[in-house]
A = this chain, B = another copy of it.
Amino acid sequence: MGKQTVLLLGATGSTGGSILEGLLSAGHYDIQILVRPSSVTKDSVKKLVERGIKVRVSDLDASESNLASVLTGIDTFISAIGPRSLLQQKTLVRAAKTAGVKRFIPCAWITIAPPKGVMLLRDEKEEIYNEIKLLSLPYTIIDVGFWYQFSFPPVPSGRVDYALSFSDTTIHAGGNAPNLLTDLRDIGRFVARIISDDRTLNRYVYTYGDVLSENEVFGIVEEVSREEVQRVYESASEIENKVHDAVSYLAENPTDPISALNAWIAQYPYSKYVRQDNQPRFAKYLGYLDARELYPDFKPVSFREYFEEVLAGKAGRVVLAEEMPSHH
């Protein structure tokens, strides 16, 4: 039996980049990337080509039959498409069915949330999941909680500012909600395990390195840095009001490109801290498998280890691309 052939969409994004590195490190995948014609000449794509990664080029709004040709011979298709393009996956789902793709990994990669009614971003993903089930296409849905890289506050000395994507010292709704957190770099390592595992076929899986509340995160940051973080407190009702305002604005201004983004940004803290959705108990209720239980030998980076790297000046800053809500 040859290597499993994996086609990855979104390889130049943050999540997709982690997946690419994770699969390459595993060593036993034939990895190819799916790139839009407009992106072929981008430096980020060229760098991957220079590393010997095969490229398949297609518009995502190509016809189903054209996309089916593009997907021919692919065992596993992984989508790390941007949040504004989620619904473009519908044709990919149909094409994957036609092409006989053995496992379709749609764009999930977020916090645990109910299928409908809390996060617009999750609601839209549900449409894709339902399309997959309609076609009886083999799938795995992988959610990763929130990234360490977006989950630590600045410290007064400014030592960690270089690694901050945005600066935020807010404690939300009391700060005691447990949260699934994964090091961005571990996502790909988890994926490399998950896509070779029959137990995860047609199932939902969640990953994490640590489960920590905001109070615990701030505590680790203070302990490791020996600096005191000035907290800002936001109440549940303030968070709820922000959601209400952002969703109302979106309803009134559906074509304003910033309005959907603002709704996503408002709904994340509501789901994570007010509803306390992003935790193992709720994930299990929703039927998710726990990647740490599946792979007890897997050693993820802990949040403490990650933050020690940050303090040592060894962490990178995640450049917010189209695929992740920004606080700007």
Residues of A within 8 A of B (CB): 114-118, 130-131, 133-134, 136, 138, 202-203, 282, 285-287
Using Cβ atoms and an 8 Å threshold, which residues of chain B touch A134?
114, 116-118
Task: Tell me which of A118, A134, A286 has the highest count of chain B C-beta atoms within 10 A of its own C-beta.
Answer: A134
Number of identical monomers bound together in the oligomeric complex: 2
Chain B: minimal CB distance from A200 (Å): 12
Using Cβ atoms and an 8 Å threshold, which residues of chain B touch A282?
136
The reply to whether B202 and A285 form a contact with Cβ atoms under 8 Å apart is yes
Give bound CA distance, A287 to B118, whole Å: 23
Give bound CA distance, A286 to B118, whole Å: 23
Give bound CA distance, A286 to B287, whole Å: 11
Give bound CA distance, A326 to B134, whole Å: 26
Using Cβ atoms and an 8 Å threshold, which residues of chain B touch A114?
130, 133-134, 136
CB-nearest residue of chain B relative to A123? B130
Give bound CA distance, A131 to B282, whole Å: 14
Give bound CA distance, A287 to B286, whole Å: 11
Take A136-B282, A282-B136 as given contacts and tell me if A287 and B130 are in contact as well, using a CB distance cutoff of 8 Å: no
Give bound CA distance, A114 to B130, whole Å: 8
Using Cβ atoms and an 8 Å threshold, which residues of chain B touch A131?
117
Using Cβ atoms and an 8 Å threshold, which residues of chain B touch A202?
285-287
CB-nearest residue of chain B relative to A201? B285
The reply to whether B130 and A115 form a contact with Cβ atoms under 8 Å apart is yes
Contact sample, A vs B, 10 pairs, CB 8 Å cutoff: A114-B130, A114-B133, A116-B130, A116-B134, A117-B130, A118-B134, A133-B286, A136-B285, A202-B287, A287-B287
